[in-house]
Amino acid sequence: MKKFTFLSLCVLTLFSCTQKQQNDGKNEKLIRQYFESFNKHDWKSLANFYTQTAEFKDPSLGQGIVKQNREQIVKKYSELSQTFPDVTDKVLNIYPSGENHVIVEFVSTGTAPDSSKFELPICTIFKIENGLITEDFTYYDNFEE
């Protein structure tokens, strides 16, 4: 009986770990697709990676947590690409964290209408539930030189 209980516990633990790894893989794939949409400037597709209303921490939106719906997300990124028509994100590292979080380290680059260029290191923590992003907490140095 003890062998069966120990063996059952090992199998359940292994199954649990495998499930967690599979979920992390799905979340990482979702985030890679998200950045593909960003780099194609397909803002509607990008917005559909989020729940209908998601929570954001982003210096461009103000302080604290700001709720944004998909239409607001499309508007935000459309305005960004009007200012920086060649804006691109280069993913440096993706760090799956537990069942629901993915941390992404990337560099955003672009050219303004006056031909000045920017290069901005960014880190975003995504929370993903049921295959959609519910939280997007983005951190970068927003001090101007």
Q: Is 100 helix (H, G, I), strand (E, B) or coil?
A: coil
What pLDDT is attached to residue 142? 75
Q: For the chain, what percent of residues have pLDDT higher than 70?
A: 81
> What mean pLDDT comes out for the span 59-85?
95
* Residues 44-63 pLDDT 10s: 999 999 999 999 999 989 88
User: Alpha helices of the chain — where are they, by DSSP H?
Assistant: 2-40, 43-47, 70-83
Looking at residues 106-131, what average pLDDT do you find?
A: 96
Give the architecture (CATH level 2) of 2-139: Roll (3.10)
What's the whole-number average pLDDT of the chain?
87
Instruction: Say which DSSP state 30 is in.
Output: H
Residues 112-123: tens digit of each pLDDT: 999 999 999 999
Q: What are the extents of the domains in the chain?
A: 2-139
pLDDT-based confidence at residue 16 (cuts at 50, 70, 90): very low
**Cα gap 110→106, rounded to integer Å:** 13
User: Which residues on neighbouring strands pair with residue 104, listed in sequence order?
Assistant: 94, 124
Looking at residue 138, its pLDDT comes to: 97
Alpha-carbon Rg for the chain, nearest whole angstrom, is 19
